[in-house]
Structure 1
Amino acid sequence: MSSRIVSVFGATGLQGSSVVEALLKDGTFTPRAITRNPESEAALKLKERGVEVVKGDSGDKASLVTALQGSEAVFAVTLPLISPILTSGPSELTQGKNIVDASKEAGVTFVVFRCSSLPGVKKMSGGKYTKASPFDDKEEIEQYLKASGLANASILTGGFLENFWVYTSTGFDISIPYNPTSLQRFTWVQHDVGEAVLALLKSYTDPSKSVSGKTYPVITAAITFPDLAARVAKTLGVQVTFTSVATSGVPILDEMFAAQSEYNGFHTATAIPNPDLVALGAKFGTIEKFMETEVKKRFSQ
């Protein structure tokens, strides 16, 4: 195994596991999973594959300083407190700043942060959107990281392709408070996040590539929700509908969707796939490949 350790937050979830998979496949770096519960089913599965699993809580900086010892780099994700989805624990700002501060204290060289789908939307909208705190908090964490003195890069994702359908007895319905004519930027998280992070990790020590301090959109496709529904329907041969509902039942999510809908998912100036990451060696998937490999695998009877 490589002696170049990359500590991965969220390694038992969708984003972090994508990074772990990419690191294992490539072999340049050795992943270390940072988790609050090293005995969880997902953590034990990582251990079975030979991945080092270390206890660390993003709400407890001291635990992170210990967990990150010997790490060259860190992939950082933070979790927003969105009721009723996640209602207790440290604030997202606390999580992010603890990870940055602990990385400095532990001697980490490079940090990649998964920041928001949109920049600070309160400022961008002139105060129109004030409840979409995950966007604003992640931007503040990103700026804190950039001011830390650590070499760093951030990745921006769109809506997770893996998350946007609900199975019913008659087929599928995608019910989102989103304008049906507005574009959404989507990311195939399991495939493309790991590719992007690996490319940045392999490039950050090369001054000619100059990746530090930059933010990289990682977008697989820019389409409408009705287009997404049509693609799933074609792939599976079942009825799929998109319903533009008035509310998700979660005020913060409603405002997050409203902001993304108004700004067409953002990242509009970046080509798909991101040419800067492609130039660094990232090999991205396509929405067509996602439909064939992921949607069919998950839902075909």
Structure 2
Amino acid sequence: MSSSRIVSVFGATGLQGSTVLEALLKDGTFTPRAITRNPDSEAALRLKERGVEVVEGDSSNKASLVRALQGSEAVFAITVPLLPPVVTSGPSELTQGKNMVDASKEAGVKFFIFSSLPDMTKLSGGKYTKASPADDKQVIEDYLKASGLAHASLLLGAFLENLWLLHHELKKTSIGFDLSTIIYGPTSLQSFTWIEHDLGESVLALLKSYTDPSKTISGKSYPVVTSKMTYPDLAAMISKVLGVPVTFTSLATSGIPSVDELVVFAEYDGIYTVPIPNPDLAALGAKFGTMEQFMETEVKRRYGQ
């Protein structure tokens, strides 16, 4: 790889990290370094075969992260909440985030990008207090601000990829498909993010601009929203591109209280009020995808007959 500007990517074998890594590889300005707990996993070995540097780093062990981050100019960081039965073991999200921040500072990292969410307890005025996947990220953001590291946060919406990943929200029926999600009613707005397109674009835009003092990027939070719509409207778009009926089902619970309390998105019109695409990120060079592109390149390819 031609660039010596190393960007260390946490979660490089997962959806967010792999998306950022692919964007870095395609662009070529920076050299990605994959940070993973298991450098011998199948996904890590596939990265090595492509010439990607894969380095062992455990978010529960700050010393291992300091070693892994040596020589890095920047970091893309994600933290994973403990959410039984999905994630049942490992360090707390707060431990992960604080270790990443401390290790980055100790290793001389110049810029830290954090994948985050809004403070649900604050936004709901104390109505919802169990949304730890979001609130813990805000504690980490406060810790990051206090560290003195130059940084920016990307605030994500509901992953469009969850149509087929993790929650498997789009399921085949006898006549077409059913789109299901928890809590949301037919008129509730959701902020959706096309992770595999718009996250990488947003990270690249920040990385290419953070050294310019006129951009005043450090300390800011940037919503990354591809579209804001209701689930029935999303179902209608899927129905149109696939040419079959798509129904919508609102489920009462996920079975995980801290996930259910993210319903604050539904009660507050998707939370994010920024225009779409985010003009601040667009001004930095991010080129957002559209729902029409998502339907053609992802939904039609995966579900079309």
- 1:272 corresponds, among 276, 299, 304, to 276
- 2:191 corresponds, among 185, 188, 203, to 185
Q: CA deviation at 1:87?
A: 1.3
Pairing 1:128–2:133 present: no
Counterpart in the other structure of 2:285 = 281
Q: Secondary structure of the residue that 2:214 maps to in structure 1? A: coil
The code of the aligned residue for 2:71 comes to: G
Q: CA deviation at 1:300?
A: 1.9
Q: Deviations over 1:256-297 (max 9, x none)?
A: 1x21111111111x1100111111111110111000001112
Pairing 1:32–2:37 present: no
The code of the aligned residue for 1:162 comes to: E
CA contact (8 A) 2:202 2:281 kept: yes
Q: Distance in 2 between matches of 1:209 and 1:120?
A: 25
Q: Distance in 2 between matches of 1:36 and 1:206?
A: 34
Q: Secondary structure of the residue that 1:233 maps to in structure 2? A: helix
Counterpart in the other structure of 1:293 = 297
Counterpart in the other structure of 2:172 = 168
Percent identical:
72
Q: Secondary structure of the residue that 1:215 maps to in structure 2? A: strand
TM-score, with structure 2 as normaliser: 0.95
Q: Distance in 2 between matches of 1:204 and 1:255?
A: 34
Q: CA deviation at 1:169?
A: 4.2
Q: Deviations over 1:4-26 (max 9, x none)?
A: 00000111111111111111111
The code of the aligned residue for 2:227 comes to: A
Counterpart in the other structure of 2:217 = 211
Q: Secondary structure of the residue that 2:40 maps to in structure 1? A: coil
Moved more, 36-45 or 171-180: 171-180
Q: Distance in 2 between matches of 1:238 and 1:58?
A: 45
Moved more, 214-223 or 160-169: 160-169
Pairing 1:262–2:267 present: yes
Gap regions ≥5 residues in structure 1: none
Count of aligned positions: 297
Q: Secondary structure of the residue that 1:273 maps to in structure 2? A: coil
CA contact (8 A) 2:63 2:103 kept: yes
Q: Distance in 2 between matches of 1:280 and 1:93?
A: 30
The code of the aligned residue for 1:134 comes to: P
CA contact (8 A) 2:133 2:259 kept: no
Gap regions ≥5 residues in structure 2: 164-168
Matches within 5 A, 1:86-105: 86-105=87-106
Q: CA deviation at 1:168?
A: 2.5
Q: Secondary structure of the residue that 1:208 maps to in structure 2? A: helix
Q: CA deviation at 1:67?
A: 0.4
Q: Distance in 2 between matches of 1:289 and 1:166?
A: 18
Q: Deviations over 1:220-278 (max 9, x none)?
A: 0000011111111111122211111211222222111x21111111111x110011111
Q: Distance in 2 between matches of 1:298 and 1:12?
A: 21
RMSD: 1.1
Q: Distance in 2 between matches of 1:172 and 1:95?
A: 38
Counterpart in the other structure of 1:62 = 63
Q: Distance in 2 between matches of 1:245 and 1:295?
A: 22
Q: Secondary structure of the residue that 1:216 maps to in structure 2? A: strand
Q: Distance in 2 between matches of 1:280 and 1:124?
A: 28
Moved more, 161-170 or 76-85: 161-170
Q: Deviations over 1:79-100 (max 9, x none)?
A: 0111111111101011000000
Pairing 1:229–2:235 present: yes
Q: Secondary structure of the residue that 1:134 maps to in structure 2? A: helix
Q: CA deviation at 1:31?
A: 0.2
Q: Distance in 2 between matches of 1:126 and 1:220?
A: 27
Counterpart in the other structure of 1:220 = 226
Q: Secondary structure of the residue that 2:254 maps to in structure 1? A: coil
